[in-house]
């Protein structure tokens, strides 16, 4: 039955599905994992770096993009679609600054991106954007925010979320481990993001790219060496945990 209703984007199926939008969500599930965490004074974005070919310049593959000084986003899905969305979002951020003389709030730019995506699900001759985005940043009153959008054009605020391949695993990990003490400090929040990604990426810190925004500071992309240091710390903590458990058992 779905074969007759999945061609045109503007056609509902008899049981109320927009198949093209659902297929777009499948495309997102094929993309590399991205995780976002909202701390108290910091927001963290982490993405799984796909291994690059030998001759490819690593620096040209960037999945975390700045939308404005205080907002950035990571995406999962079709990179080319993301480029268009990011371009439009950047222009809208500046247009808002020009007209309203205030920087965008994270909710505003998320709403703009979500509206853009929704418009492409309701017109002929176009297909939906095949990306989900995690948008993080600080509003001008200092509140940290994390939002997620999907190809259907809906958006929600989250404390922590993951998108892309193995998003379910990562989200379950976060649900178990996102506690007040886990995000008590900036370092803790960063380590939580790395721990979440380590659940699903192969071969550890080399395949992780991490970016942070602290309140009133621009986006910072962590160097590979910094990530390695944090991964080493996490390994040590894990070992100490295991040791403690063993001692408890034996005593």
Partner 1 sequence: MALLDVCGISDWLKEDGFNAKAASVDKVNHFSFAARTPEFAVPVGVDPAKFLKPLTDNEDGVNGVKLELEHGTTTLAFKFQHGVMVAVDSRASAGSYISSQTCKKVIEINPYLLGTMSGSAADCMYWERVLAKECRIYKLRNKERISVSAASKLLANMMVGYRGMGLSMGSMICGWDKKGPGLYYVDDNAVRLSANMFSTGSGNCYAYGVMDSGYRYDLSVPEAYDLAQRAVFHATHRDAYSGGTVNIYHMQEKGWIKVSHENVEELYHRFAAEKK
Q: Residues interacting with partner 1, by CB under 8 A?
A: 84, 92, 95, 98-102, 105, 108, 112, 115, 119-120, 123, 125-126
> Nearest approach, Cβ of 161 to partner 1 (angstroms)?
23
Compute the least distance from the CB of residue 198 to partner 1, in Å.
39
Which one, 91 or 184, has the nearer CB to partner 1? 91
CB of 67 to partner 1, least distance (A): 14
In this complex, which beta carbon is closest to partner 1, that of residue 119 or of residue 244? 119
Please say which residue, 102 or 239, places its beta carbon nearer to partner 1. Answer: 102
Q: Measured from the CB of residue 123, what is the shortest distance to partner 1 in angstroms?
A: 5
The nearest distance, CB 158 to partner 1, in angstroms, is: 19
Identify which of residues 2 and 95 has a Cβ nearer to partner 1 in the complex: 95
Calpha distance 80→153 (Å, rounded) = 18
Say if CB 148 and CB 134 are below 8 A apart. Answer: yes
User: Closest CB to partner 1 among 30 and 119?
Assistant: 119
Q: How far is the CB of 183 from partner 1 (least distance, A)?
A: 26
**Whole-number minimum distance, CB 88 to partner 1, in Å?**
8
Cβ-Cβ contacts under 8 Å for 11 (sequence gap 6 or more) = 5, 18
Q: Which is nearer to partner 1, 10 or 56 (CB)?
A: 10
Give every CB contact of residue 12 below 8 A, 6+ residues apart in sequence: 5, 18
- 107 or 186: whose CB is closer to partner 1? 107
Question: According to the 3-state scheme, what is the secondary structure of the chain?
Answer: CHHHHCCCCCCCCCCCCCHHHHHHHHHHHHCCCEEEEECCCEEEEEEECCCCCCCCCHHHCCCEEEEECCEEEEEEECHHHHHHHHHHHHHHHHHHHHHHCCCCCHHHHHHHHHHHHHHCCCCCCCCCCCEEEEEEEECCCCCEEEEEECCCCCEEECCEEEECCCHHHHHHHHHHHCCCCCCCCHHHHHHHHHHHHHCCCCCHHHHEEEEEEECCCCCEECCHHHHHHHHHHHHHHHHHHHHHHHHHHHC
């Amino acid at each position: 039955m779905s074969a007759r209703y999945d061609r045109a984007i503007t056609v509902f199926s008899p049981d109320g599905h927009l198949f093209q939008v659902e297929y777009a969500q499948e495309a997102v599930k094929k993309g590399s994992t991205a995780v976002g965490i909202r701390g108290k004074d910091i927001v963290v974005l982490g993405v799984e770096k796909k291994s690059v070919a030998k001759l490819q310049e690593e620096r040209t593959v960037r999945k975390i993009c700045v939308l404005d000084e205080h907002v950035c986003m990571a995406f999962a899905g079709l990179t080319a679609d993301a480029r268009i969305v990011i371009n439009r979002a950047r222009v809208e951020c500046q247009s808002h600054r020009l007209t309203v003389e205030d920087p965008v709030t994270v909710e505003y730019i998320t709403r703009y991106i979500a509206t853009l995506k929704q418009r492409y699900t309701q017109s002929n001759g176009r297909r939906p954007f095949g990306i989900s985005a995690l948008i993080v940043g600080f509003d001008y009153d200092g509140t940290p925010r994390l939002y997620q959008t999907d190809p259907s054009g809906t958006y929600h605020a989250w404390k922590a979320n993951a998108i892309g391949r193995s998003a379910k695993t990562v989200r379950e990990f976060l649900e178990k481990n996102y506690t007040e003490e886990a995000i008590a400090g900036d370092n803790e929040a960063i380590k939580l993001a790395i721990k979440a990604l380590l659940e699903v990426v192969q071969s550890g810190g080399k395949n992780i790219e991490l970016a942070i925004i602290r309140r009133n500071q621009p986006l910072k992309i962590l160097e590979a060496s910094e990530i390695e240091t944090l991964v080493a710390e996490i390994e040590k903590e894990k070992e100490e945990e295991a040791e403690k458990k063993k001692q408890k058992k034996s005593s």
